[in-house]
Amino acid sequence: DEDDTAPDENAPIRLAVAGRPNVGKSTLINTWLGEERLIAFDMPGTTRDAIHVPFGRGGQHFELIDTAGLRRKGKVFEAIEKFSVVKTLQAIADANVVVLMVDAAEGVSDQDAHIAGYILDSGRAVVIAINKWDSIDSYQRQMLERSIEQRLAFLKFAPVLHISALKRQGLGPLWKAIADAHASATCKMPTPVLTRLLHDAVEHQQPKRAGAFRPKLRYAHQGGQNPPIIVIHGNSLEHISAAYQRYLEGRFREHFKLTGTPLRIEFK
């Protein structure tokens, strides 16, 4: 019952850079590459298509995907704009890891939350990069951190990095966060370990009884990677509460040190 579709360890990590128009996505990739490989103007919507750029760093191969900036639907009226939004969503779906760029000066908008929601729905590993961090004062930084906690609460597992793409600040920690997120997303979880963790979790806190039924959790195995899926087998599992599912997720995350990736739990 083990998952046979493990990713090719020698394949390049597909890394998409996503966010609103004019947030600095092309600037970040240009900075990584050390040359003006992508056009970056101050005019929003410069990048019309998703561009794939091979890139090597520290012996690891990447495929960088620079996406067209997503606009609010009301502003998407040209056919070419509609096409670029489709390409952006496709780039996110095709990526292994997504860097979600947020403009520090503008804060977390509805649109940032929509993009984050799409990344989560796609099951992609994600790192949040707050660009232009050096351009705001301490009060603005406090307000921004509060808005991240509130508006991107569903991405609690994602690390938040403060960078300046233009000034090349914070890029080392960003690369480490990307590597950690990819390692977590493709983590191998042996069945005996998962089952032991499941039994330990139940021993520590049993699921609540639902009428005459108390769910019985018997064993667990890995059902997929990128995102990691854990399949739990047992009886009366339809009565497992959302709170108990979050409790189990926390136990699995803690043991495997998962960061930057969604974790899906399925009951059978």
User: Measuring CA to CA, which residue among 136, 117, 141, 150 is closest to residue 18?
Assistant: 117
Lookup result for tokens 């021993």: 203
Lookup result for tokens 């639902």: 210
Phi and psi of 79, rounded to 5°? -60, -40
The 10 Å Cβ neighbour count of residue 110 is 9
Return d(Cα 253, Cα 266) in angstroms, integer. 15
CB 222 within 8 A of CB 188: yes
Return d(Cα 202, Cα 265) in angstroms, integer. 15
What pTM was computed for the model?
0.84
* Pairing between β-strand 160-162 and β-strand 216-224 as defined by DSSP bridges: unpaired
Ranges of H-type helices in 44-109: 79-94
Residues 216-251 pLDDT 10s: 999 999 999 999 999 999 998 998 999 999 999 999
Exposure string over 26-51, b if 16+ CB within 10 A, otherwise e: bbbbbbbeeeebbebeeeebbbeebb
pLDDT tens series, the chain, 268 aa: 444 445 566 788 999 988 887 788 888 888 888 765 554 545 455 445 556 778 888 788 888 886 654 445 555 445 545 555 676 787 888 899 999 999 999 889 888 898 899 999 999 999 999 999 999 999 999 999 999 999 999 999 999 999 999 899 999 999 999 999 999 999 999 999 999 999 999 999 999 887 788 899 999 999 999 999 999 999 989 989 999 999 999 999 999 999 999 999 999 9
